[in-house]
Structures are given as C-alpha cells and as structure tokens.
Amino acid sequence: MEELLEILEEIEPSVDYKTCTTLIDDHYLDSLSIISLVSEIESTFDVQIPTVEIIPDNFNSAKALWDLISRLQEE
C-alpha cells in the first residue's frame, strides 16, 4: 500500500490519500492522471488493468485501488 500511496502523491501531492474517498467524484484525478496512474500501477505491481476495471468505483480511493491491485494479482 505504501508504494501505491507514493505513486498517488507523485501524481497529485495535495490530496490526503489515506482518508479521501472521492478522488474521481471531486476531480482530484483527471483522465490524464488516471492514464499515468494505470501505467505506474501496471509496471510497479506487475498487473494488467483491463479497460472494464477503469471505473470510478475502483479509482475513488487508495483503498479501492489497493483492492483492485490485490484482486488482479490473485488472478
């Protein structure tokens, strides 16, 4: 999880990722940020994020992202 938080902080350092649950809803992450984030997650965690998984529910919080990464690593 710490690696994920570091990636998120590099993209947008002004957000408290440990508590924020509205990263997409409140526009902390825009489409370019999400593309960058997906790329970083895929290379760091050795997973492929399918297009169907790039939805607000999976990107609204660091916990949701971590759950997605964990699930993809198990597959």
For helices 62-74 and 2-11, angle between their N-to-C axes, nearest 10 degrees: 130
* Tokens 């590099």, located at residue: 10
Rounded CA separation 74/37 (Å): 20
CA triple 66-61-67, angle to 5 deg: 20
Domain containing 42 equals 2-74
Average pLDDT over all residues of the chain: 97
| pLDDT in the model for residue 21 | 97
Q: What average pLDDT score do residues 59-75 get?
A: 97
Overall number of domains in the chain:
1
* pLDDT given at position 74: 95
Query: What is the reported pLDDT for 15?
Result: 96
Question: In the prediction, which pLDDT does 41 show?
Answer: 98
Question: What CATH code is carried by the domain that includes residue 20?
Answer: 1.10.1200.10
What average pLDDT score do residues 11-30 get? 95
Q: How far apart are CA 15 and CA 57, in angstroms?
A: 18
Structure token digits, residue 9: 């902080």
Amino acid at 52: V
pLDDT digits (tens, 9 = 90+) for 47-61: 999 999 999 999 999
